Amino acid sequence: MGGLRVVSAADLDHLVSMRDAIEAVREAFRLLSRGRARVPLRVHVETPAGVALWMPAAVEGMGLGVKAVTVFAGNPGRGLPTIQAAVLLQDPETGTPLGVVEGASLTALRTGAATGLATELLARKDAGVVALFGCGAQARRQLEAVCAVRPVTQVRVYCPTPSHRESFAVWARQQPWLQGASVFAAPSPEAAVRGAEVVVTATPSHQPVFSASDLGPGTHVNAIGSFTPQMREIPPEVVAKARVVVDSVEAARREAGDLIQAAAEGAFHWDRAVELGPLVEDPSLGRRSPDEVTLFKSVGVAVQDVAVGMLALRRAAEHGAGVEVPWT
């Protein structure tokens, strides 16, 4: 009798480290760039309560799967997370369902892993001062990912609610992967960005979250919060001057509000965008000088979910983790 393994958020946290996730995502983007992955654009379904998205992918040598994710802004008032998701993984040879991984934690992990990969490839080698916009679950994994690939010495975190940024700073100081870096709750966007060498934006903003004039030369920016044409975190002046890398040009043209709006304003042209997969294959496609501003704009690609989800399932089977339920 076959079984379906269910991997919880707690299981995932113990089974797959950020460094493991970065390597899995690196291979997924490499396969995508070589034409060995099929990734239809995600399906958006608007509901009165929020948006639902379905993200399928088939990756040769890795697996087959689909993520169902919802973003319902009213959920916190019901005592529920804003983002909820599940990832179904299947055998690519037979289509047999293999397992389900809790999707919100997997999304945060694989999104962080893409940021870690992009930061490794684009940020200056000595970049150690990080400005972080956002204080939620995504922001936590984003900071962990940057710390996995760069010698971080200082973190400035900003979000509009003072108590949230103070709580985030307290949490961050307790993390072993921070390795002694100082963490400050920044009183303003300016205080966070000025002098930063890596900037991460993980917010649901519809307006730029910092001023272009506060961004120094040579800074690397990871923009991961916006995922609709109406959302925007990055000033158009930054997009105009930056070396722009995206996870998928096709997906970004449909969903990346930071770039869609900049293009409509004449600050960006899509032929400037470099995809992360080819950058993995050829790092010379990235940063061209120490003073160049680099921007990684991520909207998320389902190959990331399949890569990290399949790794989690393999580890769960090896360690007897998760719960196996009868399926056939």
pLDDT tens track for 164-200: 999 999 999 999 999 889 999 999 999 999 999 999 9
Cβ(71)–Cβ(50) under 8 Å?
A: yes
Active site (catalytic) residues = 67
Residue 216 to residue 273: CA distance in whole angstroms: 21
β-pair partners for 275: 246
pLDDT in tens, 80-95: 988 899 999 999 989 9
What pLDDT is stored for residue 121 in this prediction? 98
Please report how many Cα atoms fall inside a 13 Å half-sphere around the Cα of residue 286, on the Cβ side: 25
Q: Which residue has 């090896």 as its token pair?
A: 318
| Per-residue tokens: 3 | 């079984």
What pLDDT is stored for residue 1 in this prediction? 39
What 3-state DSSP class applies to 249?
helix
H helix intervals, 233-324: 236-241, 249-255, 257-264, 276-281, 302-319
Q: Where are the domains positioned within the chain?
A: 3-107+303-326, 114-301
pLDDT in tens, 268-304: 999 999 999 999 999 999 999 999 999 999 999 999 9
pTM equals 0.94
- φ/ψ bin of 278: left (φ > 0), alpha (ψ from -120 to 50), beta (otherwise): alpha
Domain 114-301 top-level CATH class: alpha beta
Q: Cα-flanking dihedrals φ and ψ of residue 315, to 5°? A: -65, -40
Q: Which amino acid type is present at position 279? A: L
| Per-residue tokens: 92 | 């690519």
Average of per-residue pLDDT across 142-162: 97
Share of the chain above pLDDT 70, in %: 99
What pLDDT is stored for residue 2 in this prediction? 63
Domain 3-107+303-326 top-level CATH class: alpha beta
Output b/e per residue, 121-132; b: 16+ Cβ within 10 A.
bbbbeebbbbbb
